[in-house]
Chains A and B, each alone.
Chain A
Amino acid sequence: MKNLFILAFSILGIGYLYNNLSDSKKRFLKELLRQVPYMIPRYFT
């Protein structure tokens, strides 16, 4: 129960922080996150 509470609180916190970012910073983050899944295969090139 305590862990669930911490998880929910963290998600809300991240959501709050994200919402307060400028559009520019949001796009920077989105572009980084979009490419994160490729970072492991790219390491092997």
Chain B
Amino acid sequence: MSDYDVIVIGAGCGGLSAGSQLARKGFKTLVIEQSDMVGGCCSTFEAQGYRFDLGASLIEDVEVINWCFERLGTTIYDEVELVECDPIYSVILKDGTRLTYPLSSEHTAREIGQIAPGDVMGWLKYGAYMQGFMDAALDGFFLAPGNTLVDMIKMFAKTPALLKYGPLFISSYQDIIEKYFKDPRIRESIGYQSFFGGLPPELCPGYIAMIPWSEHAGIYYSKGGMIGIPDALKRLGEKSGMQLKLNTEVKRLIVSNGRAAGVELQDGTEVTSDLVISDINAKTLYLDLIGEEHLPWLARIGIKSYEYSMATPMLYLGIDYEPPLAGHHTITTLPMDELNDFWWKDYKQGRFPVEQYSIISWSSGSSSGMAPDGHHVIVITLAPGAYRLEGKTWDQIKPELTQNIIDHLSKRCIPGLKDHVKYADFASPPDFEKRLKSPEGAIYALRQDLPSSLVFRPATRSKSIKKLYLVGASTHPGGGVPTTIASGMIAVDLIDKYE
């Protein structure tokens, strides 16, 4: 007799999604989390009276997240106070041109028309095409298991419309943007979102080019910090009996006769279970917690071949004035070709220049209570940063880099910033690795291009170890808050079917 029906390793959004749903179904569920808070990348921490979002700074595709809450007998709107962000973002181009894209796609067309009248038609055609893809993806992609070729055939049989969008899977993000938009400034203003897929525009799969359109269906901030979403899943899970152990690290997954049978904790305690769900990086799971000796030879080669996704250094600032920003998100960006050059000439070579792309999230502008009275917080997501720098360590360059970035942003888009910083904390890829136990600080676990997606991504229902399921960014449908929550739903559906 096992101690639990299910043990979930990791209380990120995927782990909490699966854990809370299974608890509601009556499974005796234990969620084990190595850190002192839930949410993984989607969490919020406090320092000197300021509240900072650790990684994720907003959500889109809220409908997908809501499906999970509906399975828990409620809605996200009843459980999390969501603030709609309008404008979606303000973009500052390399030449200083500023575009502010409102939530309304019609108003966005007007904004585009002021800069590039010839691209208004492109925006409308792009919107129509991507809306069709979004509808098909919501219907057939997000909750479909991507375990086997049969699953793929079923996915396309259920939603044949997906076939029409095949070119999105074999084209790059840049191809799609260049197809619909001719003006270099408009291309530049929507080029950076390829990094939401973890790759520069020329390498990112074309289907990620859906994002600049899907954002117009609504993007939201969780009042009080992004941790509001995983906290709600935790609360709902605990209401159904789910147990959560924080500050507890798993040392080993117990495998008996090819089946997952529980976990051994760092202190040597063994906890047994009938099923194990992993919400940690799949390479860490298979190579460190399980061990190669338990894997078939082909799976061993496959697991080792995965590349980690990019890491993004972050700068957390507490300031004593209201920053002159237009909305929740301000982006400083570069033309797509320069983003590509950055990837090859800087990121891949271990260099980290100051003048580059960044996302500035003004969370206290969207939600009160994030900073003391009269103060504000801004969180800056920087361009991809290599885990290993050329000739230096992150700790060596942090103080100077922090100051240079503050000076640069003061000049480029936040006048006065450098005179008002009261708190500054720079988180490098090694810091994320330490804090989140995410190897090399990878934000989406594994690279997300076609050879690492769908049936080529580690399977939700493990093909190597029986009774083991994967959720989170390592498995289908990939990294991001809605997608990791969806991965938990897929795992629960497969458990319903097979266990």
Contact = CB atoms under 8 A, between A and B. Distances in A.
Given A25-B175, A27-B203, A43 B451 contact: no
Contacts of B458: 45
B83 to A, nearest CB: 37
A44 B296 contact: yes
Looking at chain B's contact residues, the main secondary structure is helix
Given A39-B456, A40-B298, A45 B286 contact: yes
B451 A38 contact: yes
A32 B450 contact: yes
Interface in A1-45: 24-25, 27-28, 31-32, 35-36, 38-45
Interface stretch (B209-217, B271-279, B302-310, B381-389): B302-310
B299 interface: yes
A42 B202 CA distance: 23
B302 A42 contact: yes
A11 B463 CA distance: 38
B449 interface: yes
A2 B83 CA distance: 68
Contacts of A45: 282, 286, 299, 302-303, 457-459, 463-464
A41 B451 CA distance: 11
B100 interface: no
Nearest to B148: A43
B451 A24 contact: no
A29 B454 CA distance: 19
Interface residues of B, number: 30
Given A42-B305, A42-B457, A43-B455, A35 B298 contact: no
B332 interface: no
B298 A41 contact: yes
Contacts of B174: 24, 28
B41 to A, nearest CB: 22
Interface in B396-431: none
B338 to A, nearest CB: 12
B157 interface: no
A12 to B, nearest CB: 23
A40 B455 CA distance: 10
Contacts of A41: 298-302, 305
A38 B296 CA distance: 15
B356 interface: no
Given A35-B449, A35-B452, A43-B455, A25 B299 contact: no
Contact of B451 (A27, A28, A36, A44): A36
B451 A39 contact: yes
B337 interface: yes
A31 to B, nearest CB: 6
B340 interface: yes
Nearest to B455: A43
A9 B175 CA distance: 28
Closest A-B pairs by Cβ, 7 of them: A41-B302, A35-B451, A38-B305, A41-B301, A24-B202, A42-B302, A45-B302
Interface of A: 24-25, 27-28, 31-32, 35-36, 38-45
10 contacts: A25-B202, A27-B340, A28-B172, A38-B451, A41-B299, A42-B306, A44-B463, A45-B286, A45-B458, A45-B459
